[in-house]
A and B are shown apart, each in its own frame.
Chain A
Amino acid sequence: MLRLALAYLRDRPLTTALNVLLLAISVAMLVLLLQFGSQASERFERDAEGIDLVVGAKGSPLQLILSSVFHIDQPTGNIPNSSLELLRNDPAVARVTPLALGDNFDGYRIVGTDQTFLVLHGARLAEGESFEHPMEAVMGAKVAEATGATLGQQFIGSHGLEDDEDNDSGHDHSPFRVTGILAPTGGVIDRLILTSVESVWEVHGIEHDHDHDGEEGHEHEGDEHADEAEHHEHEEHDHAFLVPGPAAGPVHLRQAVFDPSDTEALFRPAHHTEEHSEETAATQAVSGYEDRAPALQDRRAELEPELTALLVTYRNASGAIRIPAMINRQTEMQSAVPAVETARLLELLGASLDGIRIFAWLLALTGGLAIFVALINMARNREGDLALLRVMGASRVQVFATVILEGVVTAALGAAVGWLAAHGLITIARRSFPTLGDLGLTPWQPVAAEAGLIAAVLAIGALAALVPALKVYRIDPARTLARA
């Protein structure tokens, strides 16, 4: 019977192809939606795992979560360093991870934090050691892969959180040294560069009570190679690696006039200092960076060591009740719950995708309708054939099943083609836009809901075939065959 159903489908290739195409397009759209939805939520869940609360500067709570949990938006501002102790001393808090953001290297965010950040994201070192002293940095797997970083290499962070070709404002005076590379986790940490909070402060010339051992050496070397640095300035940009190898110091550093007590130096890019020492240029630069990276470049940062956000894990449930209220009422900070914000974000995302989803289902129903029309015609044209089958001994149920099978096979073909197309599309999209891969979009990762979707499409096929099949079921073979 299946063979007969297939033969009938092959017998009218155009109609079949059209029906398959209609269903395939709708299935492809629905699978894509599912994939984006599930992979986004899965990713959100994984990155936010273990983070019960995020404390940061007042502003949009969603922005706070996006910037400090998923590292995709600008931070809301800064919070005093003292907040860390305030929360650490709370009995309901199990763990507080500080975050100090503000710079990037080659577009990858440099996160000032402590070792708890690695624990929080379940990260393991693939090579080397974790950061310990100031200006030591650990690279996420993706960062290391993309930049080709190796242990001991030095690099200079750039202002702001995104790679900006025009923004040639490296912190030339304080290069980082790679001490470790993380094993891939599939989470956001793969795309981050981790260092101590102190390093971030140091880069921005913020005074803090920590004795740093590497700083002076860098500056000397920087002076030595200033000429060479100027020479290479334009082709090397700031994300270029300095001399590779653990022993060598930075070879070409641009000259940086650095004085921790000079507030302006915080905002002044190195080459601006060289080329235009006029007051106006510096002021322009200041306003420019304030827009781009409000974190540690904020005016309020001044010389006070500040943090961008705190990731809080509760010890017990009482924290969830008391701490957010305490933060929001008694401090100048705000607290946001990742679970709540991601749920809201997904809802938002979902709402905007609903339109497409409805369209896709309408398309699927159109496909079903097309199958229905094709099969009704078929039932009329093949009445004789089917009556003959009955005369040769096929049961009513078998003849009925032939028609249902035709509908289901068409739907199955549509579903298969659509599914393959969707996943193929993700593969192609990923290859053309590597960021999609960074965002964790994996091409061949079917989700359970896809099975439901395919079942639904098969049901549409079966349903579309039901009426024609019933028509065939009721055929009186003798009377049909008696008609010439």
Chain B
Amino acid sequence: MLLTVREVGKAYDGRSVLSDISFSLNAGENALLLGPSGSGKSTLLNIVCGLQKPDAGSVEVDGELVAAADRSANSDLVRKRAMGIIFQTLRLVSALSVRANLALAQRLQAGSVDHEMIDDVIERLGIAHRASARPFELSQGEAQRAAIARALVVRPKLLIADEPTSALDRTNTETVAKMLFEAAQEAGATLLVATHDDRLRPFFERTFSLENGRLQPC
């Protein structure tokens, strides 16, 4: 198992958002986390990334504890080594060009910059011609691809995306979903995508739906 989520529970100010969430994904598998807005998808992904601490349960990635109710998890290190994250708001550093954004991620997560890989990834995502553009000069679709590229260039074992298509129109949504799916497959990465958009369902091998704090496989 590459990702194992065990009996995770989370409450904000006594209001339970997640309770007893358990699932696991194999290496190279992909899954969609579907649920309406406010259902706790982002909270769950944050816990999987080790950005938020669960109140109960634990998360393991590639055999290492990334989140646990107690302080024993080495979240930063696991995330750094094994995860590529695509944020809903993309979070590209606007002071840097696309290429520099990618290089920075590589330097921070992998320790060194691999320009060949960067060239390869932006080529595949079709933004090679925008490599020296700054994020605010990109179209929404290009920016989305740049964010995906940044998550890919760190050679992640687990690729996590929170609402990657929420800002996109219908055609772009499908393109990006397909792109994510293919990129993860090519990289051999496990893919976990959270969305409220039902249309993405056909692209993924597995779908979990989150409702009232509980996970229902479907």
Residues of A within 8 A of B (CB): 3-4, 7-8, 10-11, 384-385, 388-389, 391-394, 477-478, 481-482, 484
Contact = CB atoms under 8 A, between A and B. Distances in A.
Nearest to A393: B80
A482 B46 contact: yes
Interface of B: 42, 46, 49, 51-52, 76, 79-80, 85, 87-89, 91, 93-96, 100, 104-105, 108-109, 154
A14 B51 CA distance: 36
B49 A391 contact: yes
Contacts of A4: 93, 95-96, 104
B93 A385 contact: yes
Contacts of B80: 392-393
A24 to B, nearest CB: 23
Given A482-B46, A484-B88, A393 B100 contact: no
A481 B87 contact: yes
Contacts of A8: 95
Given A392-B80, A392-B109, A481 B91 contact: yes
A7 B100 contact: yes
Nearest to B96: A7
Contacts of A388: 87, 91, 93
Contacts of B42: 482
Contacts of A394: 108
Contacts of A389: 104, 108
Given A388-B87, A392-B105, 17 more contacts: A4-B96, A7-B100, A384-B91, A385-B94, A385-B95, A388-B93, A389-B104, A391-B49, A392-B80, A392-B104, A392-B109, A393-B80, A481-B51, A482-B42, A482-B46, A484-B88, A484-B89
Given A393-B80, A481-B51, A11 B95 contact: yes
Nearest to B151: A392
Contact of B51 (A3, A384, A477, A484): A477
Nearest to B85: A391
Nearest to A384: B91
A484 B76 CA distance: 22
Contacts of A482: 42, 46, 52
A458 to B, nearest CB: 23
Contacts of B46: 478, 482
Nearest to A476: B51
Contact of A478 (B51, B94, B108, B154): B51
Contacts of B89: 384, 484
A17 to B, nearest CB: 16
Contacts of A481: 51, 87, 91
A480 to B, nearest CB: 10
A477 B108 CA distance: 15
Contacts of B87: 388, 481
